[in-house]
């Protein structure tokens, strides 16, 4: 049998730098319609740009916030693993009537209320080991300047007009809804009949006022044309079909301001201090603020976003309003939107009244940050809701991390394995004889499982199939366990063949750990360190059979543990 090929040269990994707010807050001139187009739509000449929604600070973070943010971080780290520069934006949405009311109840100024809320969300990102490049807040001064600029561009282009508006308004959603988008339901605590949004289930009330409107009704044909030209723009496809049908039915003009006397906590409309800018126009622009718009030169920008990750409940805002605003100011649209499903518990929607809301800080403290990242990506729903279960977390930890990945590391590192000895047969022309069963297993593991391994995982990641990507790795790890068990390398007669047999198993573990880095960065760093794999050799180029012959020195033959049994001690997380 042929032994592994020689290692290939690896290019140096691209470094990235942290994006920070830039430019003073000064009035800016209105730019021409096509000013903010990416100079290259292929993304080859710009960093990969991924965003989360910005989270509303009127309530504490929940498990859904953690899920969205972890997915975005996995995408960013995956791009970096493949040698690409990448940027991740997350942050908080801090204006609006909900904030104003919540601050009044708390008896503090809205900015103080927002400072406290933003701190909680940033703490969650840090606790979850999120590699964000900026934590943006809509109360940031540079963001305010960009919002005012976009307003002027829209107004001068003829997309904004002042008129009276009446409709069903949801304070929770900060949105008006048409008659067709509301329904009657029973309020459980009181038994009274109420009106709610069909999309979000939030209470609505009739409201009539004069404010500014964005000419959304004229954007339907342009949006449909864009959707048709970009069939994979919104995933999963089921939601895309619903979105197209909604736009095809016709759009109404969108109210984008509120009277200042009712909404004081908002950015004033430029030239009309009696009105505050609508929170969703303000909030969505944060994705532009991060890029340095409108100051940054086209060739220096990260625009457009390669991927924007959102929950399925905010598709209307990100897939109708947001692209309409961008089309109106002449900016290139995001390349793709990923809308994920929600988390339930015992197949029931999480809610405070039912006492089944999961505190992400408590979950991370209980299970460990990488265990939570692993579980959320493995069981989280994209098309269908994921069902959160503490028992499932423990079971999957024990089955996949403890008994599979962790046990394999112990098996490999406790064996007195030597890469030079494993390669000696090839160098000296020595043939290793195996029986038919081990020959078949050797060929299956090496030629079927490890050859093309990273490409199979990459294909899953390209399609945003996070769970399937992890399961590709778990399938290889399981095969390695069966291979080692069948080899009976502990027997005396196998002593001369041990290194030869172990080589593909050790390589499989090394490659698996490299591919799992975006999901469990802390644990995989420790695992690779225990295997003696240097930081410079944990790259995409090295995630291939025979691509690294430098690891293992001083580590094999040691007893190691990365995934201890439950209950987990805090020092082991």
Location of structure tokens 């126009």? 281
pLDDT of 298 above 90: no
| Cβ 367 vs Cβ 375: under 8 Å | yes
Mean pLDDT of the 47-74 span: 96
Greater confidence, 508 or 24? 508
Domain with CATH 3.40.50.620 in the chain: 48-340
| Cβ 410 vs Cβ 445: under 8 Å | no
Q: How many CB atoms lie within 10 A of CB 492?
A: 6
Mean pLDDT of the 339-346 span: 94
Q: What is the pLDDT of residue 7?
A: 31
Q: What is the pLDDT of residue 411?
A: 81
Q: What is the pLDDT of residue 178?
A: 76
Beta pairing, strands 205-214 & 160-170: antiparallel
Q: Which of 43-47, 414-418, 420-424 has the lowest mean pLDDT?
A: 420-424
CA 106 to chain centroid, in Å, comes to 32
Tell me how far apart the 2 most distant CA atoms of the chain are, in Å. 89
Greater confidence, 352 or 56? 56
pLDDT of 369 above 90: yes
Mean pLDDT of the 117-136 span: 98
Q: What is the pLDDT of residue 10?
A: 30
CA 375 to chain centroid, in Å, comes to 14
Q: Which of 61-65, 247-251, 336-340, 495-499 has the lowest mean pLDDT?
A: 495-499
Q: How many CB atoms lie within 10 A of CB 26?
A: 7
As to burial, measured by CB atoms within 10 angstroms (0-12 exposed, 13-18 middle, 19+ buried), residue 308 is buried
Location of structure tokens 């909604």? 246
Q: How many CB atoms lie within 10 A of CB 167?
A: 18
Q: What is the pLDDT of residue 6?
A: 32
Q: According to the CATH classification, is domain 390-572 in 2.60.120.10? A: no
DSSP code of residue 250:
-
Strand spans (E) along 14-133: 48-56, 86-93
First to last CA, the chain: 42
pLDDT of 103 above 90: yes
Location of structure tokens 């995001």? 334
What band does 284 get if pLDDT is binned at 50, 70 and 90? very high
pLDDT of 38 above 50: no
Greater confidence, 322 or 550? 322
pLDDT of 472 above 80: yes
What band does 22 get if pLDDT is binned at 50, 70 and 90? very low
Going by C-alpha positions, the residue among 515, 549, 544 that lies closest to residue 451 is 544
| Cβ 401 vs Cβ 374: under 8 Å | yes
Domain with CATH 1.10.730.10 in the chain: 390-572
Q: What is the pLDDT of residue 121?
A: 98
| Cβ 384 vs Cβ 343: under 8 Å | no
If you average pLDDT over each of 35-39, 193-197, 352-356, which comes out highest? 193-197
Predicted model pTM = 0.86
Q: What is the pLDDT of residue 554?
A: 60
| Cβ 380 vs Cβ 423: under 8 Å | no
Q: According to the CATH classification, is domain 48-340 in 3.40.50.620? A: yes
Q: What is the pLDDT of residue 109?
A: 97
| Residues 493, 361: Cα–Cα separation, whole Å | 52
Q: Which residues pair with 175 in a beta bridge?
A: 170
């Amino acid at each position: 049998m042929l032994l592994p090929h020689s290692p290939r040269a690896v290019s140096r990994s691209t470094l990235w730098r942290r994006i920070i707010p830039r430019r003073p807050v000064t009035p800016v001139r209105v730019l021409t319609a096509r000013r903010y187009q990416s100079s290259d739509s292929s993304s080859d000449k710009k960093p990969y740009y991924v965003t989360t929604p910005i989270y509303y600070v009127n309530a504490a973070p929940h498990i859904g916030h953690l899920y969205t943010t972890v997915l975005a971080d996995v995408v960013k780290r995956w791009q970096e693993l493949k040698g690409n520069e990448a940027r991740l934006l997350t942050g908080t949405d801090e204006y609006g009537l909900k904030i104003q009311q919540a601050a009044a109840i708390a008896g503090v100024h809205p900015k103080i209320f927002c400072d406290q809320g933003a701190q909680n969300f940033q703490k969650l990102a840090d606790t979850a080991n999120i590699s964000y490049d900026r934590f943006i807040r809509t109360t940031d001064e540079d963001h305010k300047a960009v919002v005012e600029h976009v307003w002027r561009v829209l107004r001068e282009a003829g997309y904004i007009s002042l008129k009276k508006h009446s409709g069903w308004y949801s304070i929770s959603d900060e949105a008006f809804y048409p008659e067709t988008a509301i329904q009657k339901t029973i309020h459980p605590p009181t038994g009274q009949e109420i009106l709610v949004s069909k999309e979000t289930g939030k209470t609505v009330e009739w409201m009539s006022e004069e404010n500014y409107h964005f000419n959304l009704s004229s954007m339907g044909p342009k949006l449909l044309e864009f959707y048709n030209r970009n069939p994979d723009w919104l995933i999963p496809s089921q939601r895309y079909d619903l979105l197209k049908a909604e736009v095809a039915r016709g759009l109404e003009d969108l109210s984008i301001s509120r009277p200042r006397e009712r909404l004081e906590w908002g950015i004033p409309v430029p030239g009309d201090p009696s009105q505050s800018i609508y929170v969703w126009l303000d909030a969505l622009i944060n994705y532009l603020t991060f890029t340095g718009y409108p100051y940054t030169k086209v060739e220096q920008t990260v625009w457009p976003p390669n991927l924007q990750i959102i929950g399925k409940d905010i598709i209307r805002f990100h897939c109708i309003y947001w692209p309409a605003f961008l089309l109106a100011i002449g900016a290139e649209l995001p390349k793709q939107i990923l809308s994920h499903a929600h988390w339930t518990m015992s197949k029931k929607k999480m809610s405070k009244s039912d006492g089944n809301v999961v505190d992400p800080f408590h979950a991370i403290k209980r299970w460990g940050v990488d265990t939570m990242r692993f579980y959320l990506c493995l069981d989280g729903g994209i098309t269908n809701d994921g069902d959160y279960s503490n028992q499932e977390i423990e079971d999957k930890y024990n089955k996949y991390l403890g008994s599979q990945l962790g046990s394999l590391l112990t098996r490999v590192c406790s064996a007195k394995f030597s890469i030079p000895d494993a390669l000696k047969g090839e160098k000296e022309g020595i043939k290793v004889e195996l029986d038919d069963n081990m020959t078949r297993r050797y060929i299956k593991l090496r030629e079927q499982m490890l050859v093309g391994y990273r490409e199979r995982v990459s294909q899953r990641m390209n399609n945003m199939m996070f769970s399937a990507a992890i399961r590709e790795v778990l399938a290889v790890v399981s095969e390695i366990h069966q291979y080692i068990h069948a080899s009976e390398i502990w027997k005396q007669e196998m002593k001369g063949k041990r290194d030869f047999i172990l080589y593909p198993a050790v390589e499989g573990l090394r490659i698996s750990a490299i591919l799992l880095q975006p999901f469990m960065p802390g644990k995989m760093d420790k695992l690779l360190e225990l295997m003696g794999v240097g930081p410079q050799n944990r790259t995409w180029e090295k995630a291939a059979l025979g691509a690294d012959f430098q690891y293992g020195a001083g580590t094999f033959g040691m007893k190691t543990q990365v995934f201890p049994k439950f209950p987990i001690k805090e020092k082991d997380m």
